[in-house]
Structure 1
Amino acid sequence: MPKLYNLHIIIAEDDLDDADIICESFNKNPDFVKVSLVPNGEELLNYLKDNSNETPDVILTDINMPILDGIEALNEILNNNDLKTIPCFVYSTSINPVYKEKCDLLGVKGYLIKPYSIEDFDKIPKSILSMI
């Protein structure tokens, strides 16, 4: 697979510490040139529907977030003709098979388990690149 360049990813993450770590991991990866962050699924949908924002190349969302969770947001995204072609990924501390099944049924490209070490967070961009 050829190397990808100049990707824009939007990340929905409500935990500030996790948000800092995951954004840093993508900023360190040269294939991702823009990293946008929103705090929940509702803000993710608002960002995507705002025509003044650049459409991202990739979406990564946590599942458990306030206001609108990741699965609810992905349900809207992946059932929207203008957005459903954007590769979507989930990362979560939950290994609940019900969540994974819901994501698979929606057409999510990958379900990643949130790592416990900072070094393992750096593997997430590479994992996503291998699945797009």
Structure 2
Amino acid sequence: MPHLYNLHIIIAEDDTDDADVICETFSNNPNFGKVSLVANGEELLSYLKDSSNITPDVILTDINMPIVDGIEALQQILNTNDLKTIPCFVYSTSINPSYKEKCDLLGVKAYLIKPYSFEAFEEIPKSILAIIEQQYA
């Protein structure tokens, strides 16, 4: 990842209220030029496999979603040669240690706890940028 501006992030989030807030948060961050939203892991995988879509720079997924959950989607993404180099992040209301352990084993860059206030949501893009910057410095 040569630069940390004008990034394209795809977010998998099934809760419409959370989706609105997280999309607005990333849209308001000047480092992110494009925000794409899908409703579950199946839609995330379909988006990534569709060659007409531009490959995102970052993936952020919730865990608990219908059809295909975030961990199942990440297992496929991080085991696919063309996709496994995309920095993947999880955010969830769950503090279940087994979820975090699974994410760590998969190579997820960070397991972020979904905040309860709008102001705290604004920290998510900053955290993601800091982690990416640290790894590519």
Distance 1:99 1:123 in 2: 21
Identity of aligned pairs, percent? 82
Is 1:65–2:57 an aligned residue pair?
A: no
SS of 1:64's partner is coil
**Which amino acid letter does the alignment assign opposite residue 102 of structure 2?**
K
Paired position in structure 2 for 1:117: 117
Deviant stretches of 4+, over 2 Å: none
Match of 1:87 in 2: 87
Give 1:1-132 correspondences, 5 Å limit: 4-132=4-132
- Give the Cα–Cα distance (whole angstroms) in 2 for the partners of residues 111 and 62 of structure 1: 10
Taking the aligned partners of 1:125 and 1:32, their CA distance within structure 2 comes to: 9
Query: Runs of 5+ in structure 2 lacking a partner?
Result: 133-137
SS in 2 for 1:91: strand
TM-score (ref. length: structure 1): 0.98
Counterpart CA distance in 2 for 1:114 and 1:18 is 9
Number of equivalenced pairs: 131
When normalised by structure 2's length, the TM-score is 0.94
